[in-house]
Structure 1
Amino acid sequence: MLSSITSRKEWVFFATLWRSHPWLTATWWALILLQGVLPAVFVVAVGVLVGALADGAPIRTPLILIGAVFVLMQLLTPLHSQVGSLLGEHASDRLHDRLLVAAGAPEGVAHLENREHMDELTAARDFDLGMSGPPLHLSMGIIAGGLVEAVAGLAQAAVLAAYAWWAPLLVGGAWLSTHWLLRESTQWDRNTGEVLDAQRRAEYSYRLAVDSPAAKEIRLFGLANWLTDRFASDRRTLVELRWQATRLRQKPMRWMVLVLVVSGGLFFWSLGRDAATGAIDLGQVSTFAYAAVGASALAFGGLNWALSLAAEGVMSVLRVERTMSSTAAARAVVSGRTPAEGMPAAEIRFRDVTFVYPGMSSPVLDGLDLTIPAGGSLAVVGVNGAGKSTLVKLLCRLYDPVSGTIEVDGTDLRDLDLESWRRRISAIFQDFIRYELPLKDNVAPLGATPEEVLEALATAGAAGLRDLQTVLSPGYENGTDLSGGQWQRIALARVMCAVRQGAGVVVLDEPTAQLDVRGEAEVFDRVLEATEGCTTILISHRFSTVRRADRICVVDQGRVVELGSHDELMALKGTYARLFELQAARFNEEQDGSDDAA
């Protein structure tokens, strides 16, 4: 029995409040009880005043009592609102801290690319953003209002016990019975895939409207009205899903009306009869009549819809924590113990590596064999979807192979200490991060001397950026934004800075896609010079850059189909030669067109 109570989401929610800030939680509950009792005290005081007036007795004491209760009722409401808001903010901050730790704890990224896990993360992340209900600091006031109503209804029903033992049972029970209707008509399942999809689409539409990266296209193509309509449609869908779930649970109200009419009629008939016979005086009639009406608060008080939504948000965070530590652990990246300092000294070898992304049936890598000599440069080319970026993810141990092994100097990569291995790797990915932070923190987030940062910028071709304290976002005072090419050079500078701090493996996944051909060639020559002695792996679609690598690997359908130097592969006249000639012909056509135009 006790376990079934403590496992309820409402219990978990209130326990979370207590753990987030015990003192504020205790104050919040004390104010709920005090605010709930005061209306009953007010009703009794008014009854005493009426009785005193009828009997010609002094009225100073009941007037003072009424005044004191009235003032307290006016003061406690804003005070309770402020306490609840602070408590909600504390709880929200604590939950988001836990969510951040939970999402960042697994060393791999499978949990962030899994649909079921993303649904949980969406619900947990958005519970306090107003996407599915009021933010927690506002919900606390609504939750408190329901609880105050419940206490007020119970307290005034208890006053009726002074009239007759059956009165609170009759009147209070009738009002409490309405909760069957209210509970059924306000519940809905916010965690269905359909609801979460609608929530995700609404959020995405909103972010397109308010985030600057999409602003150019939205305005250029005249998409403002289209985007507004889309957001309104997505939000309408979310509201309709909620409404449908509520409407389908409604029950007929006629029985509730009948119960209330019968119970109220019996009580007031009895009260009127006793007043007519003189069994109770005028003050008592006033007290019991007001208390009976005040007991109606029971119908509207209690655990309301805001509590349901807030509690579900808390449960989502807790489920994410469990998911990150259990479900994701089935494919978790587990650290070994062998230190990776100085590796690779000889080679990195992919031995019969097969990999399938979670939820997919066909492998991305299928028995791939590849040896990468240490200290040299290898370019990986292939059509989109061939498995090039997946190879990089496995090397960085963001995933582990489904079968086969990746060996570094003969040691299984899974046996290496993960933190030690990642210190040996420096990488730029296609979707590199643009940190809204000062330039120095973009180049060296974990710290470096100003000289090291400036050298890294110069190597990456961004020597013109020298104010290391400039925030790279126009949203901040004296902040600035950069072109796509400048951002890419900063991402490369991040790699170069890591190399200077000890990284021995450099991964460049489409590192210069936003630079022109000449800029790319210039930057890559600088990178090769700066990373001499490192093991450099380049993924690029531009063969003018690829040909500069010591060796070139052609990947197709998850396997290595060609491997050699540029000259060797051109002589082979296979896939690489065909792709190179196709791109070279296109480049020459573009050059001829430019010359003719000139």
Structure 2
Amino acid sequence: MRSSPRYRVIRMLASAAPGLLAAALVFMIVEALLPNLVLIAMGRTVGDIPAALAPGLGSPAGHRMLLQLVVAGALYAVSLLRGPAEDALNAMVQGRMSVVSRRRLVEAVSAPAGIAHLEDPAVLDRLSSAQGELLNHEPSGAAMTLIGRAGDRLSGVLACAVLATFHWWLGLGVLAMWLVLRRPLRELVRSRVGTFRRATEALRRSWYFGGLAWRPAPAKEVRVFGLGDWLVGNHRSLYAEAMRPSWTEIERLNRRIALLSAAVLAAYATSTATLGWAAYHHTITLGALVVMLTMLPASMQAGSVNATDFALESMLSSVPDLDALTAEPTAEPATGDAPVAEPPRGDITFEAVSFRYPGTGHDVLGGLDLVLEAGRSTAVVGVNGAGKTTLVTLLARLRDPTAGRILVDGVPLADLPARAWQRQVAVVYQDFTRFPLTARENVALDLLGEPVDQETLMRVARRAGAADLMAGLRDGWETVLSAQYEGGQDLSGGQWQRVALARALYAVERGARILVLDEPTAQLDVRAEARFYDRFLEITGGVTSVVISHRFSTVRRADRIAVLDGGRVTELGDHEELVRAGGTYAEMFELQVSRFGPKEERR
């Protein structure tokens, strides 16, 4: 019972908004009673018409008919308010449930210190399902839809009870039929929705191709390369692939649906014939006949299936995914008991570290040994795929080694609290995030929840070469860095890179002691890159820094340079030592300088 998705959504609503749950339950009762009361009142009004015709409306019979008409009209008028009331209540419940479910999702996916779960196809499928992205049915609407359908079911049961006042076996027989058919009908619904759930990956890929057509990031390449038809074609073919099992399931179920429909038709034909026989033999009054005839279709609510049931089942199918997401990632060990030295007093040592990405058959890093000396800069160079960025993710504890260990002041990194350690690391990633927030928020990011220090902001902006940029923004530090918002302003790639560098330097000012620069000048123009070189020692001074770059004009300024090849450090030393050694580093440096640098830089 407690694991039932129906129970879970009601429990979630009860926890999030008990007042709304109470209002929804009252609405359910009204939803069950009011339609039947309207039909009964209308039927009785029709039944009083013959008695009022002869003596006229001024007679007692006429007064009784008018009274019945007023009651029926009043009930009908009240019933017209159900729609707006339901819409308002549904909006409030769905809004509240949306906030609660999205908050749970954000907390769940943010709980692990690492990022491996965000690259797991099973987790991504569950995440898409939990957000209702695939079947176009928001899970937040499940609670109100469930309560509404419960009201419909209760309304159908009450209609059967009214039928039983004419012949007990009539009402009981119709109700029994629906109770018997309810199970196979629910199985039909679940089977159909289950085919959608099993096609989650194909649907996710289909909607990805569809989304490329309107997302700003790929918009330029989509249009320049004329990819519109290609995107539509891929979206259509993947959607067809995902839906094909569902269409096959429908064909398979058509015979069962026909048999069930025949049973329903037979039951209602028998009921109608019974009422017709009674009317023919004058054993039922006109008013009772009208009431019973209107109760027959009303009784179908006791167990019939319509599009709302499919929508509800789609919403409920997301609940286990939501529960799984909130349970599984948090189970990942992310903290240890050892204290984090602030700042690290000694070196950071990689001992025989290996790492293999899940689902691959080879190690990106294999037996890597490297010492990052405290307070000094270490550059890491190597060909694409050598494992440079993977090394950074291990250092930042976004992933854990598959073999070997990383030591911080002699303490295994795995024994340190992951979140506390990550606050010691500031990284400028090659694919840094461009937050559509103000310039102030993009740099400060409310680190540790502390007030933003304007003096520190200005200092890191100057060190990152972004001071003039901030001064030139429309609203200064309060400018939203996105043209998609009113009053916002977008930046060039080089300008964004300065903002990202300022973000990392602000983190250093607020306590981080390890600075990682992954291709820090990749998007800077020649002049900005030259200024960065001039400030390199200032930027990296006083912290343990790691620099990853293909540009040797940046790398050569580091205290030590490590060459990665085949997942291991094959050369280690400063620039002059490695050039004299005549190995891989010297070869790469000579090649780059001969093409792009002045001859005097070869020394």
- TM-score of the superposed pair, with normalisation by structure 1: 0.89
Q: CA deviation at 1:305?
A: 1.1
Change (3 A) 1:105 1:93: same
Q: Which residue of the partner structure matches residue 31 of structure 2?
A: 35
Q: Confirm or deny: 8 A CA contact 2:426 2:508 kept in the other structure.
A: yes
**Structure 1 residue 306 and structure 2 residue 311: aligned?**
yes
Is 347-356 or 136-145 further displaced after alignment? 136-145
Q: 1:459 aligns with which of 454, 457, 463?
A: 463
Deviation at 1:545, TM superposition (A): 1.4
Q: How does 1:181-580 map to 2 (within 5 A)?
A: 182-187=185-190, 188-189=192-193, 195-300=199-304, 304-326=309-331, 329=332, 332-343=333-344, 345-446=345-446, 447-465=451-469, 466=471, 467-516=476-525, 519-580=528-589
1:239 is displaced (CA, Å) by 4.5
Distance 1:155 1:369 in 2: 76
- For 1:260 and 1:404, locate their aligned partners in 2 and report how far apart those are by CA, in whole Å: 68
How far is the alpha carbon of 1:400 from its aligned partner?
Answer: 2.2
Instruction: Give aligned pairs, total.
Output: 578
Could you say what secondary structure the match of 1:426 adopts?
strand
Tell me if structure 1 keeps the 8 A contact 2:105–2:326.
yes
Aligned partner of 2:393: which letter? K
Partner of 2:92: 86
- Per the alignment, residue 55 of structure 2 pairs with none
Deviation at 1:516, TM superposition (A): 4.0
Whole-Å Cα distance in 1 between the matches of residues 127 and 198 of structure 2? 15
Aligned residue number for residue 113 of structure 1: 119
Q: CA deviation at 1:416?
A: 3.2
Partner of 1:74: 80
Q: CA deviation at 1:235?
A: 4.3
Distance in 2 separating the partners of 1:60 and 1:236: 59
Aligned counterpart in structure 2 of residue 157 of structure 1, from 157, 160, 174: 160
After superposition, the C-alpha distances for 1:397-438 in whole angstroms (9 at most, x for unaligned) are 112223322122222223334344333322111121111111
Task: Tell me the amino acid that sits aligned with residue 6 of structure 1.
Answer: R
The offset of 1:533, in angstroms, is 2.2
Counterpart of 1:169 in structure 2: which amino acid?
L
Tell me: CA distance 1:333–1:142, structure 2 relative to 1, closer, same or farther (3 Å): closer
The gaps in structure 1 that reach 5 residues or longer are 591-598
Q: Distance in 2 between matches of 1:50 and 1:211?
A: 60
Separation in 1, partners of 2:168, 2:501: 81
Q: Which amino acid aligns with 1:500?
A: E
Give the 3 Å change call, closer, same or farther, for CA 193–563 of structure 1 in structure 2.
Answer: farther
Do the aligned partners of residues 70 and 204 (structure 1) sit closer, same or farther apart at CA in structure 2, a change above 3 Å counting? Answer: same
In 2 relative to 1, CA 531–228 (structure 1 residues): closer, same or farther, beyond 3 Å? same
The aligned amino acid for 2:12 is T
RMSD of aligned residue pairs (Cα, Å) = 2.6
Give CA deviations for 1:107-159 in whole Å, capped at 9, x if unaligned: 121211222222222222x31x5x41233566667555544432222211110
Opposite residue 70 of structure 1, the aligned amino acid is: Y
Q: Which amino acid aligns with 1:76?
A: R
In the TM superposition, residue 309 of structure 1 has moved relative to its aligned partner by 1.3
Query: What do residues 144-203 of structure 1 show as CA deviations (whole Å, max 9, x unaligned)?
Result: 554443222221111011111111122333455554564344333558786222232233
C-alpha distance 382-164 of structure 1, shift in aligned 2 (>3 A): same
Contact (CA 8 Å) 2:6, 2:146: kept in 1 or not?
A: no
Shift of 1:394: 1.4
- The one-letter code of the counterpart of 1:251 is R
Secondary structure of the 1:485 match is helix
Quote the Cα distance in structure 1 between the aligned partners of 2:294 and 2:256: 29
Runs of 5+ consecutive residues of structure 2 not aligned to the other structure: 53-60
Residues 347-390 of structure 1, C-alpha deviations (whole Å, 9 max, x = no match): 22111222223333322221111112212111101122221111
Aligned to 2:56: none
Relative to structure 1, the CA distance from residue 545 to residue 279 in structure 2 (aligned partners, 3 Å threshold; closer, same or farther) is same
Could you report, residue by residue, the CA deviation over 1:521-579 in whole angstroms, capped at 9, with x for unpaired residues? Answer: 43143132233122111111112211111111011122111111112112222211222
Q: Which letter does structure 2 place at the counterpart of 1:334?
A: T
Moved more, 457-466 or 561-570: 457-466
Which residue of structure 2 lines up, in the alignment, with residue 44 of structure 1?
40
Deviation of residue 308 (structure 1)? Answer: 0.9
Provide the secondary structure at the position in 1 that maps to 2:359: coil
Equivalent residue of 1:533, what SS?
Answer: coil
Equivalent pairs: percent with the same residue? 37
Deviates more, 1:581-590 or 1:313-322: 581-590
Q: For each residue in 1:477-521, what CA deviation from the matched residue of structure 2 results, as whole angstroms up to 9, or x when unmatched?
A: 221001111101111111222222232211111222112455334
Secondary structure of residue in 2 paired with 1:560: strand
Residue identity in the other structure for 1:356: R
**Structure 2 Cα separation of the partners of residues 325 and 418 of structure 1:** 13
The correspondence for 1:103, drawn from 109, 114, 129, is 109
Q: 1:404 to 1:141 in 2, by over 3 A?
A: closer
One-letter amino acid of the structure 1 residue matched with residue 169 of structure 2: W
Aligned-partner residue type, residue 462 of structure 1: A
Give the distance between the partners of 1:77 and 1:477, measured in 2 at CA: 36
